[in-house]
């Protein structure tokens, strides 16, 4: 292998491009990630040698270097843009086996895996990889590139990815803590912190209204006032921006006792139609996520409509969220106790339960 003593111009442009494209989460730019020095530190040279031990390199004045990890990073980027997050993760896992000799490059790879998992909606994995990236970039990985790479922007990217993941999980206090850490690291996040504090206040107010509606629903149900209880449960389901699946079970149970039952709202029919159109036009996971959003909107308005749960479960399965797919398919069985496909779908229910349990291990 050719001994490297200076930055290969393609390598530095490629790494900078990687940081700009993949190191931007919510507006953090990496354009100043690399310092202007051109000589490798001995630690950096060693890191580069380890990272490219099985690579094809370019001699001075030669053509563009072509490293396997770069090809895998490009492939992961392409798959991610296409919505194939599972494929992107697989490519990054392959890159990890090549880069394991370099702490810095391994840290970059963990950061990318974290952002990919976040976009995939798998926040726990995103948090795990961002923590790994921070440990490496603040430790041995940072030492490898000391005086060559500007590390703070990368650390801020880790923190921002964690903040976004915590927010998606609904843990706003931890999200605020990550934004506060970013502010200490040189990136003012006061606007995001204020937004999250307002969200917490709104959620608290909505939760109080929801609990009051549930209390009134329970009292009405105990008194045999099923119509009133049904309306209170509907109010609870549609209060706030979070969707709570357990509330739908109560509504379905009461719906089956009402005579006459309420008709399907026109808005629910419209959202279900939107979901069908979104599925037909879907070219990637983003299209399926749009359809999923429309089905959830329909369920909020007509939680007794059994077909919505089956379709939503199948969409969650398509997106790789087997836990949610299992939960929605279970509700389908409650909403459609006499469905002709009940026995056939039991096998699918067991399959989803198994995959959901495997994902937790």
Residue 55 domain-assigned (yes or no): yes
* 256 in a structural domain: no
pLDDT of residue 49: 53
Q: How far apart are CA 309 and CA 329, in angstroms?
A: 6
Shared domain check, 268 and 179: no
pLDDT at position 334:
94
Which helix (DSSP H) or strand (DSSP E) does residue 202 occupy?
A: helix 190-222
Structural domain contains residue 248 = no
Q: Residue 100 has which token pair?
A: 């394991």
- Asked if the structure places residue 222 within a domain, the reply is no
Give the contacts of 75 (CB within 8 A, at least 6 positions apart): 88, 91
Residue 162, pLDDT score: 97
What pLDDT, on the 0 to 100 scale, is given for residue 247? 83
The DSSP symbol for 234 reads H
Question: Does the residue 219 lie in any domain?
Answer: no
Q: Which of 171, 188, 205 lies at the terminal end of a domain, its last residue?
A: 188
Nearest to 76 by CA among 68, 66, 84: 84
Of 188, 216, 239, the residue at which a domain comes to its end is 188
**CATH number for 332:** 1.25.40.10
Task: Judge contact between 159 and 185, C-beta under 8 A.
Answer: yes
pLDDT for the residue 130: 96
Residue 198 belongs to some domain of the structure: no
* Tens place of pLDDT per residue across the chain (361 aa): 223 223 333 343 444 444 443 443 333 333 333 222 223 344 444 544 555 543 333 333 333 344 678 889 889 999 998 888 999 999 999 999 988 788 999 999 999 999 999 998 899 999 999 999 999 999 999 998 888 888 898 999 999 999 999 999 989 999 999 999 999 999 999 999 999 999 999 989 998 999 999 999 999 999 999 999 999 999 999 988 777 787 899 999 999 999 999 999 999 999 999 999 999 999 888 899 999 999 999 999 999 999 999 999 999 999 889 999 999 999 999 999 988 888 889 999 999 999 988 877 6
Let me know whether 179 and 37 are in one domain: yes
The reported pLDDT for the residue numbered 7 is 30
2 falls within a domain? no
Asked if residue 267 and residue 126 are part of one domain, the reply reads: no
Place of tokens 């929801």: 210
Q: Torsion over CA of 188, 190, 196 and 197, rounded to 10 degrees? A: 150
Q: Say yes or no: 179 and 282 in one domain.
A: no
User: Do 92 and 116 contact (CB within 8 A), yes or no?
Assistant: yes
Q: Check residue 347 and give its pLDDT.
A: 92
In terms of domains, do 178 and 305 share one?
Answer: no
Q: For residue 149, what are the CA distances in angstroms to 19, 32, 105, 214, 220?
A: 11, 9, 12, 55, 65
As a whole number of angstroms, the distance between CA 348 and CA 326 comes to: 9
Give the residue from 140, 158, 188 where a domain finishes: 188
| pLDDT value of position 275 | 96
Q: 86 lies in which domain range?
A: 9-188
Q: Measured between alpha carbons, how far is 299 from 309 in angstroms, rounded to an integer? A: 8
CA 280 from chain centre, in angstroms, equals 23
* Residues in contact with 338: Cβ distance below 8 Å, sequence separation at least 6, in sequence order: none
Q: Are residues 184 and 296 in the same domain?
A: no
- Residue 53 and residue 172 in one domain: yes
In 253-358 the beta strands, taken as DSSP E runs, fall at: none
CA distance 160 to 41: 29
Length of the chain: 361
Number of domains in the chain: 2
d(CA 265, CA 276): 17
> Is residue 137 located within the same domain as residue 276?
no
Task: Say what the pLDDT of residue 333 is.
Answer: 94
Check whether residue 85 and residue 169 sit in a common domain.
yes
Q: Are residues 168 and 28 in the same domain?
A: yes
* Domain assignment of residue 193, yes or no: no
């Amino acid at each position: 292998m050719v001994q490297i003593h200076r930055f290969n111009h393609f390598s530095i442009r490629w790494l900078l491009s990687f940081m700009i494209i993949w190191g931007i989460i919510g507006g953090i730019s990496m354009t100043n990630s690399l310092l202007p020095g051109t000589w490798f530190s001995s630690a950096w040279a060693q890191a580069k040698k380890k990272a490219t031990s099985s690579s094809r390199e370019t001699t001075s004045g030669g053509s563009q270097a072509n490293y396997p990890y770069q090809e895998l990073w490009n492939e992961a980027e392409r798959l991610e843009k296409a919505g194939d997050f599972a494929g992107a993760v697989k490519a990054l896992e392959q890159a990890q086996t090549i880069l394991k000799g370099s702490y810095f490059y391994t840290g970059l790879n963990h950061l990318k895996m974290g952002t990919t998992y976040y976009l995939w909606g798998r926040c726990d994995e995103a948090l795990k990889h961002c923590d790994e990236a921070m440990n490496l970039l603040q430790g041995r990985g940072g030492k490898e590139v000391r005086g060559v790479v500007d590390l703070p922007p990368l650390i801020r990217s880790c923190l921002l990815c964690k903040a976004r993941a915590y927010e998606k999980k609904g843990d706003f206090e931890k999200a605020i803590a990550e934004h506060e850490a970013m502010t200490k690291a040189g990136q003012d996040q006061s606007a995001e912190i204020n937004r999250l504090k307002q969200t917490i206040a709104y959620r608290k107010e909505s939760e109080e209204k929801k609990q009051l509606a549930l209390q009134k629903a329970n009292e009405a149900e105990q008194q045999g006032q099923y119509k009133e209880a049904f309306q209170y449960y509907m109010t609870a389901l549609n209060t706030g921006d979070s969707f709570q699946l357990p509330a739908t079970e109560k509504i379905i149970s009461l719906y089956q006792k009402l005579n006459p039952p309420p008709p399907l709202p026109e808005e629910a029919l419209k959202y279900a139609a939107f979901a069908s159109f979104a599925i037909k036009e879907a070219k990637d996971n983003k299209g399926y996520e749009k359809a999923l959003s429309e089905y959830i909107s329909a369920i909020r308005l007509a939680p007794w409509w059994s077909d919505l749960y089956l379709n939503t479960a199948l969409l969650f399965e398509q997106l790789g969220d087997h836990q949610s797919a299992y939960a929605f398919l279970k509700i389908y069985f409650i909403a459609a106790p006499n469905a002709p496909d009940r026995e056939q779908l039991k096998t699918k229910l067991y399959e989803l339960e198994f995959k959901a349990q495997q994902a937790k291990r």
